[in-house]
Structure 1
Amino acid sequence: MRVEIWSDITCPWCYIGKARFEQGLAAFAHREEVEIVHRSFELDPNAPKEAVPTLEMLARKFGRTLEEARAMQEHVAGTARAEGLEYRTEGRVNGSTFDIHRMLHFAAAHGRRDALLDLAYRANFAEERSVFDDDTLVALAVEAGLDEAAARAVLADGEAYAAEVRADEREAAELGANAVPFFVLDRRYGISGGQPAEVFTQALEQAWQGRQVLAPAAPEGEVCEPDGTCAVPQS
């Protein structure tokens, strides 16, 4: 069985959803027979190459003060930490993720995509490293087991793996995915948002049996929208 996951590296619910999905998969009896394929999705295709502070971006987008934006991030951080994930609310930046997605496709060609994705999520949400800096991105690629010179060559050629990124995004649109994370099981069943682990386990079991997947416990899980807006749990 194949599970495809559309996500973006700046989406906190993709970071949380990946962890929850892996917990759900771990409880699935046929987990060794599940192929995971990560797909590209840019939340903001028009984001500038030069990254800007995340809190400033959120304050501007929502018309809030920096303190209000910080409080929004703390809500999400609390959810992430409850899943055992580190999450910084200060010092993070936000920008175009197109080059990151190109690098992830390069990693996929060498069987290292999941390793690079985990490192990129960690760098973006848990560490004081910007995934929007070319040197940092190359360093992450090397940590994931990729060749440094080859990784730099990919970044230097703006069209390298660009077609693959755009193809993923076209497929997302064709499937009706307008927010991430978005999970597709065997191209038959779709799950939107960072659902609880048990919802993923149930969906895997029912997809395996070939029956219609039950509605999630909540109509929709928390997602990030194409304009970069991410749902924030209310206190």
Structure 2
Amino acid sequence: MKVEIWSDIACPWCFVGKRRFEQALDRFEGKDGVEVVFRPYQLVPDAPETASPHRAWLAERYGPQSVAMDARVTELGRTEGITFDFDTALHANTLLGHRLLHLAEAEYGPQVQAVLKEKLLTAHFSEGVDVGDRAALTDLAVAAGLDRDRVAGYLAGDEGLAEVRAQIAEGRELGITAVPTFVFEGKWAVQGGQEADTFLRVLEQVAAETAGTDTPAGGTDAAGACDDGSCAV
């Protein structure tokens, strides 16, 4: 089974959703046959290359409610073992990071890409790292197992840029308008950082559908596994 996760590095719900999906996958009996790949999506594609404080940017965009927004996701993060530090977090353009994730998947495989994704999310949300900075990205990539010279040369040019933009466009064509969005076997999608139990139910349902067996007792079809009606691609 292939699961493609459209998400952004600067999306707190993508971090929460990643953790919850991983919990579900760990409980899934067929986990060894599941390939997970991260796909790019930019919530703020026109973000400047020069990073700025997250708090100031969010307040400008959403007003006074921005404080409550951060507080809510911070509390949710704690339940998933995530430390959100929005006081030090930086608002940054994530395109370079998505290019780096593309390189990791193309040349090192999905498992290394997943390690890098975790490091990028942690750096952005917990450590106040500018994930739009080439030097910082290179260090994170090396920590994930990528070759330093390869990464430095890659980020210095435009290699992978066309591929990443094509994948972003592919997400739009699929109808993805919010992240995270989890697409199973290119047929079914679950939007949002759902609870681990929901993800587990979808994994079981998709496995049953693709195997041509009956849906597990008590379940529904995979496309109807979400309550918000946004599951079908």
Q: TM-score, normalised on structure 2? A: 0.88
CA shift, 1:220, in A, is 6.5
Contact 1:105 1:165 in 2 (8 A): yes
Please, which runs of 5 or more residues in structure 1 have no aligned partner?
222-235
Residue number in structure 1 paired with 2:90: 93
1:136 alignment partner in structure 2: 136
The number of residue pairs the alignment matches comes to: 217
Q: Gaps spanning 5+ residues in structure 2: where? A: 210-214, 216-220
Q: Which residue of 1 aligns with 2:155?
A: 155
- Of 212, 215, 231, 2:224 maps to 215
Rounded to whole Å, the distance in 1 between the matches of 2:69 and 2:191 is 21
Aligned-partner Cα distance in 2 for 1:186–1:99? 27
Q: Give how far 1:96 is off.
A: 1.1
Q: Which moved more, 1:127-136 or 1:160-169?
A: 127-136
Aligned to 1:195: 194
The Cα of 1:106 is off from its aligned counterpart by 1.2
Partners of 2:98 and 2:84 lie apart in 1 by: 21
Amino acid corresponding to residue 182 of structure 1 in structure 2 = T
Q: Which residue of 2 aligns with 1:225?
A: none
Is 1:26 aligned to 2:26, yes or no? yes
1:11 aligns to what? Answer: 11
Q: Distance in 2 between matches of 1:208 and 1:175?
A: 21
| Separation in 2, partners of 1:217, 1:170 | 24
1:109-188 aligned at under 5 Å gives the runs 109-111=107-109, 112-157=112-157, 159-188=158-187
SS in 2 for 1:116: helix
Secondary structure class of the residue paired with 1:160: coil
Judging changes above 3 Å, is the alpha-carbon distance between structure 1 residues 118 and 220 closer, same or farther for their aligned structure 2 residues?
Answer: farther
Q: Find the aligned partners of 1:79 and 1:21 in 2 and give their Cα distance.
A: 15
Higher normalized contact order (CA 8 Å, seq sep 6+, divided by chain length): 1
- Cα RMSD for the two superposed structures: 1.5
| Bigger fraction of residues in helix | 2
Contact 1:102 1:162 in 2 (8 A): yes
CA contact (8 A) 1:2 1:186 kept: yes
Residue 63 of structure 1: how far off its partner (Å): 2.6
